Amino acid sequence: MKPNEIYESVTQTIVELLQEHQENWQCPWIAFGQDNDLARNPITGQYYRGINQFLLSYRLMKKGYLKNVWMTFNQVKDKGGFVGKGEKSTPVIFYKTAYLNKDKKPVSSEAVQAMSHGQMKALGIESVPVARLFQVFNIAQTSGLKAEWYEVEPQEPLRPFEKDERAEALIHSTGADIEITQSNRAFYNRKTDKITLPLREQFVGEEPFYSTALHELGHWSGHPTRLDRVQKGAFGEPGYAEEELIAELTSAFCCAVLGFTKTISSNTSYIANWLTVLKNDNKAFVRAAAQAQKAADYIFERSQVKELAEERFTYTNH
């Protein structure tokens, strides 16, 4: 599959999710199985990252799978298992590194590894990420694997006060300047580098308060002194919509690690803007998810719950 076809396939899945959410306001960005876990690979023991969490979560919701466990056809086969007849796979994206010289001609990785820094500079060698599509299957679509892989052992969700403690530790250990005051909106001021949040009692429950705070921390992470993410455009413009999407997805990643379910924003204007951007740029969501993963990593690296993030955000190749 050509790169453009890969991005188009992924974008259509996300567009479908957003359109369904317009009819059902409870759609989460990242769904948990009955095992109360993020999408992971049982062979590697690692969790999927970035765009792949959204793709696998959506399929989990659509099909009603009980376990958030996924693997490739070859992994199933190598472990002596079988994929059920007629079962359809779910696409996930990974990247390999390709090398080009100054004439934009490909150079093998073996040749590049044998070069000195000076030789690479003289030839104008640059690395380029190339998208590759892998097809994975949920454990429910297979048979013949380890018996324990099929067992659904519902993990007791964290109690509210436990989730709140983690969320408080995460938010305050970032060192962000946060003012909680009587206000009708939450926002991040890039010029003053300050976050303003409404009073807690203005939210219905704690989860919306934390997801909102983490959304604004997503914006905060893009400051020039941090991830230096370019933010441009006014409301309704592509640049603005993509930055809002990055902040929304950052909140979704962080909430998932903390044990919260982050539902998609109910702001119809934002959803309309996102749909317009995605339909005009099939790389927009993949790009936003990658930036959001970086933002979530940045926030957790400075937190008192870093170990939890390292456990759930470990990279997996398949």
Q: Domain check: are 257 and 196 in the same one?
A: yes
Copy the structure tokens of residue 184.
């009708």
Do the domain assignments include residue 119?
no
Domain region containing 59: 3-96+129-150
The pLDDT, as a whole number, for residue 305 is 64
Judge if 179 and 299 occupy the same domain.
yes
| 68 located within any domain | yes
Structurally, the chain folds into a number of domains equal to: 2
* Token pair recorded at residue 39: 């999408």
Dihedral sign for Cα atoms in the order 44, 46, 50, 56: positive
Q: Mind listing the pLDDT tens digit of every residue in the chain (318 residues)?
A: 788 899 999 999 999 999 989 887 678 999 998 888 899 999 999 999 999 999 999 999 999 999 999 999 999 999 999 999 999 999 999 988 889 999 989 899 899 899 998 999 899 999 888 889 999 999 999 999 999 999 987 666 666 667 788 888 899 889 999 999 998 899 999 999 999 999 988 988 778 999 999 999 999 999 999 999 987 766 667 788 999 999 999 999 999 988 888 999 888 888 999 999 999 999 999 999 999 999 999 999 877 665 655 555 544 444
* Together in a domain, 137 and 167: no
One domain, residues 207 and 299:
yes
225 and 300 together in one domain: yes
Max Cα-Cα span within the chain: 62
91 and 216 part of one domain:
no
Q: Is residue 124 part of a domain?
A: no
The verdict on 20 and 137 lying in the same domain is yes
Write down the pTM of the prediction. Answer: 0.86
174 falls within a domain:
yes
Radius of gyration over alpha carbons of the chain, in Å? 21
